[in-house]
Chains A and B, each alone.
Chain A
Amino acid sequence: MKKLLLASAAGALLAGAASAEEIKLGVILGFTGPIESLTPSMADGAELAMKEVSDSGKLLGGSTVASVRADSTCVDAAAASAAAERLITSEGVKGIMGADCSGVTGAILNNVAVANGVVMVSPSATSPGLSHANNEDNGLFFRTAPSDARQGVVMTEVLMEEGIKEVAVTYTNNDYGKGLADSFQAAFEAAGGSVTINAAHEDGKADYSAEVGALASAGGDRLVVAGYVDQGGSGIVRAAIDSGAFDTFHFPDGMISNKLQENFGDEIEGSTGQHPGTDSPGAAKFSELVGDSFDATSPFTPESYDAAALILLAMQAAGSSDPAAYKEKIMDVANAPGEQIFPGELGKALDILAGGGDIDYVGATAVELIGSGESAGNYRQIVIDGGEIATAKYR
């Protein structure tokens, strides 16, 4: 608190006249490459936050923010590192909103950002490998997207609350399924549960009786199906119901859609599940703010807005645009206590921070940073009730 007071006092002092500057932020996303269709609106989202802050004229005594875009390519680590190097050394950016894909994000962080001491806030890198528990990143890396490992933890909490201690797990045989099943098994066993079997299934087969035979033999109170509803996941559930192997199931995000309800209805009564979702009003406010200028619902676009906003608010809280100073403040502005800040209220937040107050940035995606600075993510817990998917609660 003392630090905060000092910082804001310093900020107030600096707010004289001479300190107003043009702060450059790097926006490094894969403008070419596999996710090139998503990145334009992600960049627009980030730049919207910068514009909002610049227009308010309240950042660090009237500083303005300029965005400098660079291409991460999503896949080419060398090209992404070179682009980031250019942003930092020749453009002199004070922070980086990015990168997008997990691989290039790790490369930029290790090769460029840590070496130069620049803060990175990624809106979309979800690999569990980027959770830096031992401060390998010098506290420079944050993300507004949850780690893939997070769903395993949420899933464990749901099942534990239901009083289920023993489950069988089957996953679709790819990176998504395997990653989710493994992170769930680790979390579930750490919480005192036991996983009787963790078996893969291939998508696109007609017959899953052999797979279900093995699952049934291993037993368990519930079957966790980490698959796809329009692929093998439904086949597994069908075979399990037909052979009486399991009555209730637990479904992660890939399984939850209207198709599930259509295929099984009340045959899976009492089954549970969770998928990313929030009832926070932030998302609606963000759409309203964006209007028609770009697609506000495109994946990771709200996260991009939040990422840029967090950097700027942290600068205000630290009273400095120096990454070494404001990196400490990102967690403070993102989490409680303080006044909740939604999209479009960045000016108000800057005022509160300048006055030495506390904010809890909620933003477009209900940001809550945990661990070493990554989003906790928001999940909608569902239950099959009367043959329909019903919301149990949000967590």
Chain B
Amino acid sequence: MDFLNAIVALSNFVLIPAIAYGSQLALGALGVTLIYGILRFSNFAHGDTMAFGAMLAVLITWLLQSMGVSFGPLPTALLALPFAILGTMVLVLLTDRVVYRFYREQKAKPVILVIVSMGVMFIMNGLVRFIIGPNDQRFSDGERFIISVREFKAMTGLKEGLAIKTTQGITVVVAVICVALLFWYLNRTRTGKSMRAYSDNEDLALLSGINPERVVMYTWLIVAALATTAGVLYGLDKSFKPFVYFQLLLPIFASAIVGGLGSPLGAIAGGFVIAFSEVTITYAWKKVLKYMLPESLEPSSLVQLLSTDYKFAVSFVILIVVLLFKPTGLFKGKSV
């Protein structure tokens, strides 16, 4: 019984939040890694692209709600998601046409593109605040829980409760679908293969007649879809606030780099590595250990490695360790 209680407590406070958070990071990191692999620069505007997409979803959700449309037990935001993706695609294609294409034609160095993307980041940052304001916005509706603590306790009779929020369930399901679609696209379709070819060797790809502008356009479209999905899922699960997406940039880049920049598989693995390290290192293990250990060994302290204030520091430390000892990341991406 104690063993079960320990597992439930661990799932409730560590496993489930970390899996949901990891999926959100993975989707974000996939976008960063695609841009790095194909356009060859670190896109600092990615966090704010997520914010922009999520903002569109919030606005469309409100519109749908005011029209009385709902999605049963699921959040209405899922219905708004396709429209938000379309809007974000328009925005990123526009920025590419107005800003990035100029530098691509100049054959600008990646570091210049990084600085350019920071400029784009600040503009998008301001744009989102200008439209929806800097405050928290709640837009989730439908059932809040797949299973709530009270139901779980009544069902199992255990002392510890387990809650799975609807948004956590949706996050994982949607993330799995997105990743499956992406891999199918990259490995099976003609455009996907040309994207991979372009990423592997630009000159060879050009010689074999691949149209670079087309590859770039498809990359941006996929990135817009991924960013919007990640942004909406994060906003649904936590809450929508423009500044939060800016802060997410660090763990997202850490995920992409840990996994190996340019490697989609690495981005997913990196997302989960970062999420699990952030949560497990700052978790106080007292409760779990109390169930697992005999009474004589029971810990008197909290058994917390780092205070939760240092959550972001965990990403930094992992980043530094990986860059020092395995600069290409876990999955042999490009070295930074």
The answer to whether A206 and B311 touch (CB under 8 A), given A213-B17, A214-B304, is no
Q: Are A214 and B163 in contact (CB under 8 A)?
A: no
Q: Interface-forming stretch among B76-84, B203-211, B280-288?
A: B280-288
Within 8 Å CB of A199, what residues of B? Answer: 307-308
Q: Are B234 and A217 in contact (CB under 8 A)?
A: no
Q: Are A244 and B284 in contact (CB under 8 A)?
A: no
- B residues 232-272 touching A (CB-CB < 8 Å): 234-235, 237-241, 243-244, 247
Indicate which residue in B21, B165, B244, B283 contacts A214 across the interface (CB closer than 8 Å).
B283
Residue of B nearest to A216 (CB): B13
Q: Are B17 and A197 in contact (CB under 8 A)?
A: no
Q: Are B13 and A243 in contact (CB under 8 A)?
A: yes
Within 8 Å CB of B282, what residues of A? Answer: 210, 213-214
CB distance from B54 to the nearest CB of A (A): 11
CB distance from A326 to the nearest CB of B (A): 50
Within 8 Å CB of A206, what residues of B? Answer: 234-235, 238-241, 244
Residue of A nearest to B288 (CB): A217
CB distance from B146 to the nearest CB of A (A): 12
Considering only CB atoms and an 8 Å cut-off, how many residues of chain B contact the other chain?
39
CB distance from B219 to the nearest CB of A (A): 28
Q: Are A200 and B309 in contact (CB under 8 A)?
A: yes
Q: Are A244 and B150 in contact (CB under 8 A)?
A: yes
| A interface, over-half SS | mixed
Question: What sequence of 0s and 1s flags, for each residue 80-104 of chain B, a beta carbon within 8 Å of any chain A beta carbon?
Answer: 0000000000000000000000000
B12 lies within 8 A of chain A by Cβ: yes
Within 8 Å CB of B149, what residues of A? Answer: 243-244
A24 lies within 8 A of chain B by Cβ: no
Q: Are B12 and A214 in contact (CB under 8 A)?
A: no
Within 8 Å CB of B153, what residues of A? Answer: 244
Q: Are A210 and B279 in contact (CB under 8 A)?
A: yes
CB distance from A220 to the nearest CB of B (A): 12
Q: Are B241 and A217 in contact (CB under 8 A)?
A: no
Give the interface size class of chain A. 20 to 34
Within 8 Å CB of A291, what residues of B? Answer: none
Within 8 Å CB of A244, what residues of B? Answer: 12, 148-150, 153, 161, 163
A327 lies within 8 A of chain B by Cβ: no
Q: Are A217 and B238 in contact (CB under 8 A)?
A: no
CB distance from A23 to the nearest CB of B (A): 52
A3 lies within 8 A of chain B by Cβ: no
Q: Are B243 and A204 in contact (CB under 8 A)?
A: yes
Question: What sequence of 0s and 1s flags, for each residue 306-333 of chain A, a beta carbon within 8 Å of any chain B beta carbon?
Answer: 0000000000000000000000000000
Residue of A nearest to B286 (CB): A217
A242 lies within 8 A of chain B by Cβ: yes
Question: What sequence of 0s and 1s flags, for each residue 275-296 of chain B, a beta carbon within 8 Å of any chain A beta carbon?
Answer: 0001100111111100000000
Question: What sequence of 0s and 1s flags, for each residue 188-219 of chain A, a beta carbon within 8 Å of any chain B beta carbon?
Answer: 00000000010111101111011111101111
The answer to whether A211 and B308 touch (CB under 8 A), given A206-B234, A206-B241, A217-B286, is yes
- B residues 193-241 touching A (CB-CB < 8 Å): 234-235, 237-241
Indicate which residue in B21, B150, B286, B307 contacts A207 across the interface (CB closer than 8 Å).
B21
Q: Are A197 and B309 in contact (CB under 8 A)?
A: no
CB distance from B10 to the nearest CB of A (A): 10
| Complex CA–CA separation, A199 to B279 (angstroms) | 16
11 contacts between A and B (CB under 8 A): A197-B284, A205-B247, A206-B234, A207-B21, A207-B237, A214-B284, A214-B307, A217-B284, A217-B285, A235-B239, A244-B148
Given contact pairs A243-B149, A243-B161, a sample of 13 additional A-B residue pairs in the complex whose CB atoms are under 8 Å apart: A197-B302, A206-B234, A206-B244, A210-B17, A210-B279, A210-B283, A210-B308, A213-B283, A213-B284, A214-B284, A217-B284, A217-B288, A243-B163
List residues of B whose CB falls within 8 A of some A CB.
Answer: 12-14, 17, 21, 144-145, 148-150, 153, 161, 163, 165, 234-235, 237-241, 243-244, 247, 278-279, 282-288, 302, 304, 307-309, 311
